[in-house]
Amino acid sequence: MSLISRGFAGRARTTSSDRLPPGQYDAGGSFPVLTAGPTPRVDIGTWDFTVQGQVDEVARWSWQQFRALPREDVTTDIHCVTSWSKLDTRWQGVSLDTILGHVETAAEYVTVFSDGGYTTNLPLEDLTGGRAWVVDTYDEEPLAAEHGGPARLLVPHLYFWKSAKWVRGLALTSTDEPGFWETFGYHSYGDPWRSQRYAGD
């Protein structure tokens, strides 16, 4: 029969399968660690976060200055290209809108760089609009070193390889320059809802 009650039809669909992009599974309580190379040792005494490259003036925050910026709580789903997703992950950190509010630029792209040499690229616009953060807290605890502590990028609307661990800054560029995984054939944008895993997807 085709009759369905209003109450049932009108209910918001929030089952986990609706929240999983194509080809992804729910990792549940586990939080896999994916790192190319060793976990770098990061000293917060010398740590800084800089926005450099195509900017009128380099912007720089020491750890103390970064910690004093306005903070936000973020609860979001994350999607790794190796096909695990994790729902309702809880973070705290500084919005990239706050950081980029201090910067004048005509650049359209960003190379995110990290301790240990990892890089990843994305359009500058994708770091704005309340869609990206530098986070230092996971589940109300300081972010663990293997997950990118003291601080990592969080860009949950793109595959998780864009969320650079041990992040140290942004280099603003006029053209889209492939980062670490992108050089090895991963997609330059990486939208999980469009299965943009590899170049050409």
Q: Does 113 bind ligand MTE (CB under 6 A)?
A: no
Residue type, 171: A
CB atoms within 10 A of CB 35: 14
At closest approach, how far in Å is the CB of 23 from Mo ion?
A: 13
Q: Are 138 and 19 in contact (CB under 8 A)?
A: no
At closest approach, how far in Å is the CB of 6 from ligand MTE?
A: 41
- Which residue number, 165 or 187, has a Cβ lying nearer to ligand MTE? 165
Q: Which of 108, 150, 138, 144 is nearest to 126 (CA)?
A: 108
CB atoms within 10 A of CB 185: 11
Q: Does 118 bind Mo ion (CB under 5 A)?
A: no
Measure the CA–CA gap between 90 and 170, rounded to whole angstroms. 24
Q: Which of 108, 98, 159 is nearest to 134 (CA)?
A: 98
Stretch touching ligand MTE by CB under 6 A, among 18-26, 127-135, 155-163, 189-197: 155-163
Query: What string of H, E and C letters represents the secondary structure of 37-96?
Result: CCCCCCCCCCCEEEEEECCCCCEEEEHHHHHCCCCEEEEEEEECCCCEEEEEEEEEEEEH
- Which residue number, 34 or 68, has a Cβ lying nearer to ligand MTE? 34
Q: Does 199 bind Mo ion (CB under 5 A)?
A: no
At closest approach, how far in Å is the CB of 48 from Mo ion?
A: 26
Stretch touching Mo ion by CB under 5 A, among 6-14, 16-24, 56-64, 74-82: 74-82
32 binds, among ligand MTE, Mo ion, none (CB under 5 to 8 A by kind): ligand MTE
Phi and psi of 162, rounded to 5°?
-75, -15
Q: Which of 53, 116, 149, 190 binds ligand MTE (CB under 6 A)?
A: 116
Interaction site with ligand MTE (CB under 6 A)? 32-36, 80, 114, 116, 118, 147-148, 160-161, 163-166
Q: Can you give the binding site for Mo ion, defined by CB under 5 A? A: 34, 80-81, 161
